[in-house]
C-alpha cells in the first residue's frame, strides 16, 4: 500500500481500541520476570559457553603483541579470538567503529579480544591473564582544543542540512536593536540503559542465529553480514524484549560480533554480555557540543536574525551531533545562519542518543530564548509565542503539517500557574530555599518509514501479527495489537503479537521516534489485505463489510469473523510505503515544558519540585503508554540538566566515570510527580493512523527548562551543563 494523499476516514477512526489507555499486553511477563531478554534465552539454547570481551588499555596506538599462554592454559578455556585469528573484518554501514580491533587501536576499551570458557567466571578470569603490550601514540581527546580544526559539514548523517544561510544574517544581526551572543556547552553522555549490551550466538553450518538486543533488526542483520562477510540471508536476529536502548543499541556493536566470532571458534553457542564499566568507552555515546547562538530582535520582540553554530567531535568518518537542526524549524526570523563543524577525536564513537540533535540543540537554544526575553523585558512564554511560525522558516512555501506550539505553551502556562512567576530572579523564598520557574519549547522530527507486517486469521478467530519491530520498553506490542484489533473488529484478547524476529516482515525498528507511527501503519496495510481476504472468503463486498464485535456485517447479513478461516488459515502481508507528503509538509511534533525548582541558598543543592509537559504529536495511539514515554523522557532531561556527564581524562583519553557508580542518573528521590497533557490532534499527512511519534519529544527542552528555573530562582546563569552545585555555590552569597 502506498500512502500518497492525506488520509480520510478509515476503520482506525472508530477508536474502539485505538486511543484507549490500554495496559501493556506483555506487562505481566515483565513484572513476573518471565519475559526473556537476550542473555536469558536458555529456553532455546542448550549448553552455551561464555565469552568475555577484553577492551584496549590505551586510547591510541598499536598492539605489539598479545601473549595468550597463561589464558589458554586457564581452567575451562575453549577459545580466544583476536582480530588476527578472526580474519578480515569490515565495518558496518552505520557505525564507523571497528568492533574487534587490532593491531591499530582507535579508542580506549575498543574490543581487542574475546575469551571463551565453560563459565562466565572462567572466561573473566582467563581474560585477566592476557598480556597485551602496546605502542602508544598521541591522540586528540579535548573538543575545545580540537574545535578550530573541525571540518565544516554540508549535511549531517540524520539528513538535515548542516549549513544554511538565509537572507542577510550578518547585516541583520549587526543592526538589530537588541542582541544576544552566547556560547553554551553540553557534555558527553551515555545511555545508561538497564539491560547491558548482550548476545547469544549460535551457528548451524553457515547459518548464524543471534538472540540480541538490537533496536533495528534489519540494520543489525545488514551490518553483521557486512562485518563478517557473510550473506544477509544467512543471519537471523531475535530480540523479543529489549531492556532499554535510547539509540544505544541501534545496530551491531561489539557484543554481537564477539559472540558470533566466539561461537564459530568454539563450535557451540556463546553468550556475551558487556560488563557495565566497558560500555561507555566501548560502545556509542552522545557526543559533547560547543554551541554559539546569536539572536537579534526589534524592541517589540520580533526576531530579525537567528544564528546557531555547533561543534562536536567523533572518530574519523563518524557523524556530527546535529544540534542546529531544531533551530532551523523552531522560530521565525527572516535572516538565518546555521553551521556545524566536526572535529576528529579519539574517543568512543559518538552517535544517536534519545532525540539526537534536538535534545542537545534545545539545551542551548531554549536558554538563549530566555536570555533574549530578559533583554527585551518580555515574558519568556510571550516571547516564544510572538515568534511562532506556521511555515518552515527556511522554506516559507512549505507549511507545517500540524503545529500547535502556541497551544502547548498557553495550555502549559495556564495549568502550571505561570502567572505566579516573579520576573526578578531570586525573589521567592521558602526558608533556605530559593524557588524558580522555568519554561522551554520542544520540537522533534516526526519521520515515518516503510514498514511491513504479516497478519493471520485462525479458525478460532484469533488474529496474529508478525513484524520484526522491536519493543524496547515503549509499548510496541500493545499498539501493534490495538491496531490489528481495531482493523479486524475484535477485542485485544483475540490478538497475538509477535515481534523482534528478523525472519518476520521488515519494519524500521525502534529509533528516531518513527517506530510507533511506522509499524502501526504497516500493520494497517496488512490488515487491509486481510479484510479483503475475509470478505472474499465470506462472499461479501469488502467496501460494504463492517468488522465489529468479532462479526463481519454486510447489508442485512452477519458472519462470525472466524467463519472466513473455516477452510484454512487466512494469511495476508503488505507494507506501507510513502509518496511526497513528507517533502510537501514539515512534519514535526511539538511541546512545552514547565519546571519548578528549589535551590538551597547555603549549599547550592537543586531540587526539582514540579514538572509539566504538554505534547502535540498527532493521534495518541495509547495515552497510557504515551504518558509513560514522556515521563521517562522528562526524567532523562532532568539527568541531562543536573548530573549526567561522561568526564574525559584528556591526558589518557577515556571516560573516567564509566559505570553507574560514577556516572550519575536520576533516581526516584530526584523526580517529583510529573504531569503530562497530551493535546489530541490528527495529522492526516503522516499515514492512515494520523499519528506521530512522541517518545523522544518528551526529553527535548527539559534540561533548558530546568536551567531557566535555576536562573529564576537564583539569578545565576549557567551555560555549561550539567548544572552542578559547584557552579552555583560561590555566587549564592551575592544574593541578598
pLDDT in tens, 454-464: 999 999 999 99
pLDDT at 319: 94
CB neighbours of residue 628 within 10 Å: 18
**In residues, how long is the chain?**
736
Cell numbers standing for residue 172: 541583520
H helix or E strand, kind and range, residue 668: none
pLDDT value at position 159? Answer: 55
Average pLDDT of 493-498?
98
* The pLDDT value given to residue 393: 97
Confidence of residue 164 (pLDDT cuts 50, 70, 90): confident
One fold for 2-35+448-578 and 38-138+191-282: yes
Averaged pLDDT for residues 320-339: 96
Spatial separation of the C-alpha atoms in residues 359 and 646, rounded to whole Å: 16
Q: What percent of the chain shows pLDDT beyond 70?
A: 99
Strands 303-314 and 335-344: parallel
DSSP lists the bridge partners of residue 608 as 597
Alpha-carbon distances, residue 417 vs 12, 197, 409, 439 (angstroms): 36, 43, 12, 12
696 is catalytic: yes
Instruction: Give residue-wise pLDDT tens across range 510-530.
Output: 999 999 999 999 999 999 999
Strand 606-616 vs strand 674-678: parallel, antiparallel, or unpaired? parallel
- Of 160 and 456, the one with more pLDDT: 456
- Round to whole Å and give the CA distance between 219 and 470: 12
**pLDDT above 70 for 162:** no
Give residue-wise pLDDT tens across range 88-101. Answer: 999 999 999 999 99
**CA dist., res. 251 & res. 20, Å (int):** 32
- Cβ neighbours, 10 Å, residue 458: 15
Residue 577 burial by CB count (10 A; 0-12/13-18/19+): exposed, middle or buried? middle
∠ CA 290-351-98, rounded to 5°: 125
Q: What digits encode the pLDDT tens for the residues 98-109?
A: 999 999 999 999
Cβ neighbour number for residue 33 with a 10 Å cutoff: 8
- CB-neighbour burial class of residue 735 (10 A; exposed 0-12, middle 13-18, buried 19+): middle
Strand order in 77-82's β-sheet?
Answer: 77-82, 111-117, 49-55, 270-273, 198-204, 207-211, 235-238
- Tell me what the mean pLDDT of segment 252-266 comes to: 98
Rg (CA), the chain: 27
**What value does the mean pLDDT of the chain take?**
97
Q: What is the 3-state secondary structure (H, E, C) of 128-170?
A: CCCEEEEEECCCCCCHHHHHHHCEECCECCCCCECCEEECCHH
Please determine, for residue 534, whether its predicted confidence score (pLDDT) is greater than 90: yes
pTM of the complete model beyond 0.95: yes
Looking at domain 2-35+448-578, its CATH architecture is: 2-Layer Sandwich (3.30)
Across the strands, what pairs with 65?
133
In angstroms, rounded to a whole number, what is the distance separating the alpha carbons of residues 485 and 463? 8
DSSP state letter for 510: S
pLDDT, residue 200, reads 98
pLDDT interval class at 122 (50, 70, 90):
very high
Q: Which pLDDT score is estimated for 408?
A: 98
Split at pLDDT 50, 70, 90, the class of 197 is very high
Is the separation of the CB atoms in 370 and 336 below 8 Å? no
What is the structure's pLDDT at 647? 98
Q: Which three cell numbers stand for residue 694?
A: 512522541
* C-alpha pair distances (Å), 667 with each of 109, 604, 635, 638, 686: 28, 19, 9, 10, 36
Contact predicate 704/368, CB 8 Å: no
User: Residues near 632 by Cβ (< 8 Å), separated by ≥ 6?
Assistant: 698
pLDDT in tens, 631-657: 999 999 999 999 999 999 999 999 999
Question: Which residues in 373-432 belong to E strands, given as ranges?
Answer: 391-392, 395-399, 429-430
Beta-bridged to residue 189, according to DSSP, are 286
Task: Using alpha carbons, list the distances in angstroms from residue 132 to 129, 135, 387, 654, 705.
Answer: 9, 10, 59, 18, 48
Bridging pattern class, strands 654-655 and 648-649: antiparallel
From the list 374, 394, 588, 696, the catalytic residue is 696
DSSP state of 319: P
Question: d(Cα 324, Cα 362) in Å, to the nearest integer?
Answer: 9
Grid coordinates 526589534 are at which residue? 298
Q: Say how far apart CA 455 and CA 345 lie, in whole Å.
A: 47
Looking at the domain that runs over 38-138+191-282, which CATH code has it been given?
A: 3.30.365.10
Listed by start position, the domains of the chain span: 2-35+448-578, 38-138+191-282, 392-444+587-732
> Do 712 and 437 touch, CB atoms closer than 8 A?
yes
What CATH topology corresponds to 392-444+587-732?
Aldehyde Oxidoreductase; domain 4 (3.30.365)
Report which of 469, 36, 9 is spatially closest to residue 271, judged by C-alpha positions: 36
For residue 163, what pLDDT is reported?
Answer: 77
- With 70 as the cut, is the pLDDT of residue 134 above it? yes
Alpha-carbon distance 195 to 173, whole Å? 48
Amino acid at each position: 500500500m502506498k500512502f500518497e494523499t492525506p488520509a480520510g476516514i478509515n476503520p482506525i477512526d472508530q477508536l474502539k481500541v485505538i486511543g484507549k489507555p490500554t495496559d501493556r499486553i506483555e506487562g505481566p511477563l515483565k513484572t513476573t520476570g518471565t519475559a526473556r531478554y537476550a542473555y536469558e534465552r536458555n529456553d532455546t539454547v542448550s549448553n552455551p559457553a561464555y565469552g568475555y570481551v577484553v577492551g584496549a588499555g590505551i586510547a591510541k596506538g598499536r598492539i605489539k603483541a598479545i601473549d595468550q599462554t597463561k589464558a589458554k592454559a586457564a581452567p575451562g578455556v575453549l577459545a580466544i579470538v583476536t582480530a588476527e585469528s578472526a580474519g578480515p573484518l569490515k565495518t558496518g554501514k552505520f557505525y564507523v567503529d571497528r568492533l574487534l580491533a587490532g593491531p591499530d587501536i582507535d579508542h580506549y576499551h575498543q574490543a581487542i579480544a574475546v575469551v571463551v570458557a565453560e563459565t562466565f567466571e572462567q572466561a573473566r578470569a582467563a581474560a585477566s591473564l592476557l598480556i597485551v603490550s602496546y605502542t602508544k601514540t598521541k591522540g586528540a581527546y579535548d573538543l575545545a582544543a580540537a574545535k578550530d580544526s573541525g571540518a565544516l559539514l554540508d549535511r549531517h548523517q540524520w539528513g538535515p542540512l548542516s549549513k544554511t544561510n538565509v537572507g542577510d544574517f550578518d547585516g541583520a544581526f549587526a543592526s538589530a536593536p537588541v542582541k544576544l551572543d552566547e556560547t553554551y556547552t553540553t557534555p558527553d553522555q551515555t545511555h545508561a540503559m538497564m539491560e547491558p549490551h548482550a548476545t547469544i550466538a549460535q551457528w548451524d553450518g553457515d547459518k548464524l542465529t543471534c538472540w540480541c538486543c538490537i533496536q533495528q533488526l534489519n540494520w543489525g542483520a545488514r551490518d553483521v553480514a557486512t562485518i563478517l562477510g557473510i550473506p544477509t540471508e544467512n543471519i537471523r536476529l531475535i530480540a523479543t524484549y529489549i531492556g532499554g536502548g535510547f539509540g544505544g543499541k541501534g545496530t551491531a556493536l561489539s557484543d554481537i560480533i564477539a559472540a558470533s566470532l566466539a561461537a564459530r571458534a568454539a563450535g557451540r553457542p556463546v553468550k556475551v554480555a558487556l560488563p557495565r564499566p566497558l560500555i561507555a568507552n566501548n560502545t556509542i555515546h552522545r557526543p559533547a557540543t560547543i554551541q554559539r547562538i546569536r539572536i537579534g530582535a526589534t524592541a517589540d520582540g520580533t526576531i530579525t536574525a537567528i544564528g546557531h553554530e555547533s561543534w562536536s567531535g567523533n572518530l574519523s568518518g563518524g557523524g556530527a551531533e546535529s544540534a542546529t537542526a531544531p533551530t532551523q524549524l523552531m522560530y521565525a526570523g527572516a535572516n538565518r545562519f546555521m553551521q556545524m563543524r566536526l572535529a576528529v577525536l579519539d574517543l568512543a564513537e559518538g552517535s544517536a542518543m534519545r532525540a539526537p540533535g534536538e535534545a542537545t540543540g534545545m539545551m542551548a537554544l531554549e536558554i538563549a530564548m530566555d536570555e533574549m526575553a530578559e533583554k527585551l523585558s518580555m515574558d519568556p512564554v510571550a516571547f516564544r509565542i510572538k515568534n511562532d511560525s506556521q511555515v518552515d522558516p527556511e522554506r516559507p512555501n512549505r507549511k507545517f503539517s500540524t503545529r500547535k506550539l502556541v497551544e502547548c505553551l498557553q495550555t502549559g502556562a495556564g495549568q502550571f500557574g505561570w502567572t505566579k512567576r516573579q520576573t526578578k530572579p531570586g525573589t521567592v523564598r521558602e526558608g533556605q530555599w530559593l524557588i524558580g520557574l522555568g519554561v522551554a519549547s520542544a520540537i522533534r522530527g516526526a519521520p515515518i518509514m516503510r514498514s511491513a507486517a504479516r497478519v493471520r486469521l485462525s479458525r478460532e478467530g484469533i488474529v496474529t501479527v508478525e513484524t520484526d519491530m522491536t519493543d524496547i520498553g515503549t509499548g510496541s506490542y500493545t499498539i501493534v495489537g490495538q491496531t490489528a484489533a481495531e482493523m479486524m473488529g475484535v477485542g485485544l484478547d483475540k490478538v497475538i503479537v509477535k515481534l523482534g524476529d528478523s525472519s518476520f516482515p521488515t519494519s524500521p525498528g525502534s529509533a528516531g521516534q518513527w517506530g510507533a507511527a511506522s509499524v502501526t501503519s504497516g500493520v494497517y496495510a496488512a490488515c487491509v489485505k486481510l479484510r479483503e481476504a475475509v470478505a472474499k472468503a465470506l462472499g461479501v463486498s469488502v467496501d460494504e463489510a463492517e468488522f465489529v464485535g468479532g462479526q463481519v456485517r454486510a447489508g442485512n447479513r452477519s458472519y462470525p469473523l472466524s467463519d472466513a478461516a473455516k477452510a484454512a488459515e487466512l494469511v495476508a502481508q503488505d507494507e506501507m510505503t510513502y509518496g511526497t507528503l513528507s517533502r510537501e509538509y514539515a512534519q514535526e511534533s511539538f511541546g512545552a515544558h514547565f519546571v519548578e525548582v528549589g535551590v538551597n541558598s547555603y549549599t547550592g543543592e537543586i531540587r526539582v519540585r514540579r514538572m509539566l509537559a504538554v505534547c502535540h504529536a498527532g493521534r495518541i495511539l495509547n495515552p497510557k503508554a504515551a504518558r509513560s514515554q514522556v515521563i521517562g523522557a522528562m526524567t532523562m532531561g532532568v539527568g541531562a540538566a543536573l548530573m549526567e556527564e561522561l568526564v574525559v581524562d584528556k591526558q589518557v583519553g577515556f571516560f573516567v566515570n564509566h559505570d553507574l557508580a560514577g556516572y550519575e542518573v536520576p533516581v526516584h528521590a530526584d523526580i517529583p510527580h510529573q504531569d503530562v497533557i497530551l493535546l489530541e490532534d490528527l495529522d492526516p499527512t503522516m499515514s492512515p493512523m494520523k499519528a506521530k511519534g512522541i517518545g523522544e519529544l518528551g526529553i527535548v527542552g527539559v534540561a533548558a527548562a530546568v536551567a531557566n528555573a535555576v536562573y529564576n530562582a537564583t539569578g545565576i546563569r549557567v551555560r555549561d551543563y550539567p548544572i552542578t552545585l559547584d557552579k552555583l555555590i560561590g555566587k549564592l552569597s551575592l544574593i541578598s
